[in-house]
Copies of this chain bind each other. A is one copy, B any other.
């Protein structure tokens, strides 16, 4: 049986103390050049591998980070992200990572700035946030760069920025996928609609990417003649307004048989739609929030694409942990899978979301 190499083994063979070996292995300086090279040589020769357990145990101090999220009480999607974050924090808190949470209003760039300022005041050693407001996100990223705070961004990727990492989906590819799922059930001559139910739809990077992917699918797979239209709608909190909007939409487009809802507000569309028409219109949307799952069970939504908000949060914290405490190298872009959810497999994904586990 192969015996594990300890730093003491290196120390003995190199004729130094374990402290010196540690200094060399962690580049903490104050080691004579010849001693350093000798230690490295012996470590390589013996095939040293760090015992992460003992390492984490000995690294006996706490590091505080900050998370910046839309208020999870006001939005079921961000509630899931928050859940994943909490799970991860609980898992790593005893290993020295603590976090303070800051929340902002999902529709107010100003409240984002305000919360960000609060977070920065605490001088955290790391920050996690979704760059929902492009301009404000860039400002925060600049601030973090200035103060040398590693940053994890989730949910929406942002160009011309170099955070520690991005964790989320490939928006373009999710658009392509949405197109395939709709196309599978459409026939030639029918129309489908890209529907953005959100604010700021003209500038939101991830929504534009979804649209681009959606359109590209039909260009590349031109076996069917399908017309594509795109609509934006902002007044989604007023059900009557949404109903009349959709009524107008299906009146003007007689061959409309598919809607690709680019946000988690898919349920609002399903809710109105089955009331105002008998036409079989297929719906593909996003996210496993309860309201969506209800309509999925009732076959009023055909497919949901899971953006894995809980895992985004979970992995986000885990990456800060790996970077700050385990000092591992972090992959810059970490795309999460595009889970296709239907009635039959929804329960497993929902359950998985609730039961993140950490191995040790």
Interface residues of chain A, those whose CB is within 8 Å of chain B, are 1, 4, 49, 51-54, 56-57, 62, 91-92, 94-95, 173, 176-177, 180-181, 184-185, 221, 299, 302, 318, 321, 326, 335-345, 348-349, 352, 358-360
Contact = CB atoms under 8 A, between A and B. Distances in A.
Contact of A185 (B57, B176, B185, B342): B185
A184 to B, nearest CB: 5
A349 B336 CA distance: 9
A184 B302 contact: yes
Contact of A53 (B94, B341, B343): B94
A258 B175 CA distance: 26
Contact of A94 (B4, B185, B348): B4
Nearest to A217: B344
A67 B180 CA distance: 40
Given A185-B185, A302-B184, A318-B359, A344 B176 contact: yes
A177 B337 CA distance: 19
A243 B94 CA distance: 60
Nearest to A170: B348
Contacts of A336: 348
A18 to B, nearest CB: 16
A81 B173 CA distance: 28
A54 B56 CA distance: 9
Nearest to A185: B184
Nearest to A302: B184
A339 B336 CA distance: 13
Contact of A338 (B335, B338, B348): B348
A360 B180 contact: no
A342 B95 CA distance: 40
A17 to B, nearest CB: 21
Given A94-B51, A345-B177, A348-B338, A360 B184 contact: no
A261 to B, nearest CB: 18
Given A57-B57, A338-B344, A339-B339, A95 B360 contact: yes
Contacts of A52: 94, 360
B337 A348 contact: yes
A46 to B, nearest CB: 15
A53 B360 contact: yes
Nearest to A340: B340
A318 B357 CA distance: 11
Given A337-B349, A359-B318, A344 B53 contact: no
A1 B338 CA distance: 40
A326 B360 contact: yes
A287 to B, nearest CB: 16
Nearest to A325: B360
Nearest to A342: B180
A345 B352 contact: no
Nearest to A355: B331
Nearest to A88: B359
Contact of A184 (B54, B184, B335, B337): B184
Nearest to A305: B345
B352 A95 contact: no
A345 B175 CA distance: 11
Contacts of A359: 91-92, 318, 321, 358-360
Nearest to A314: B359
